[in-house]
């Protein structure tokens, strides 16, 4: 596999470049995704993340971020989706220390 850039430098990449764009995918079959991306010649990087189904109410994301902070775990990025009126939402966290972060949620 060939990386476009180290994960730490993604933020400095020119996102509006005609040659490169950063797209984050959350897949359920990483082997198949790797095969397809490789076959088509895409450059990619694999980064483990934590996907959480959260209550769709004010303060829930803040509570999750606080849990990371209390354990001293930096969050590289987080993205999610919440639909108005729905009770649940999906958020994807990229913690600096995936193993320490996973321990938080084993409870």
Question: What is the C-alpha to C-alpha distance for residues 60 and 65, in angstroms, rounded to an integer?
Answer: 9
The residue with tokens 């950063």 is 22
Question: Which pLDDT score is estimated for 67?
Answer: 92
Q: Give 106's pLDDT tier (boundaries 50, 70, 90).
A: confident
Higher local confidence (pLDDT), 77 or 4: 77
Confidence of residue 83 (pLDDT cuts 50, 70, 90): confident
- pLDDT higher than 90, residue 72: yes
Q: Is the pLDDT of residue 71 over 90?
A: yes
Cα dihedral sign, 4-7-9-15:
positive
Note the pTM of the prediction, 2 decimals.
Answer: 0.70
At residue 107, the pLDDT reads: 65
Instruction: Indicate the SS3 state at residue 95.
Output: strand
55 or 22, higher pLDDT: 55
CA atoms of 69 and 77, how far apart (whole Å): 14
73 neighbors 95 (Cβ within 8 angstroms): yes
- Nearest-angstrom CA–CA distance, 33 and 29: 6
Domains and CATH numbers, the chain: 7-39 (no CATH), 50-104 (3.30.70.260)
């Amino acid at each position: 596999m060939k990386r476009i850039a180290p994960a730490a430098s993604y933020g400095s990449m020119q996102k509006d470049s005609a040659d490169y764009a950063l797209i984050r995918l959350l897949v359920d079959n990483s082997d198949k995704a790797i095969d397809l991306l490789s076959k088509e010649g895409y450059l990619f990087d694999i980064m483990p993340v934590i996907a959480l189904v959260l209550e769709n109410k004010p303060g829930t994301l803040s509570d999750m971020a606080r849990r990371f902070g209390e354990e001293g775990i930096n969050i590289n990025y987080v993205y999610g989706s919440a639909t108005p009126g729905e009770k649940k939402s999906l958020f994807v966290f990229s913690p600096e220390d995936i193993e320490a972060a996973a321990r938080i949620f084993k409870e």
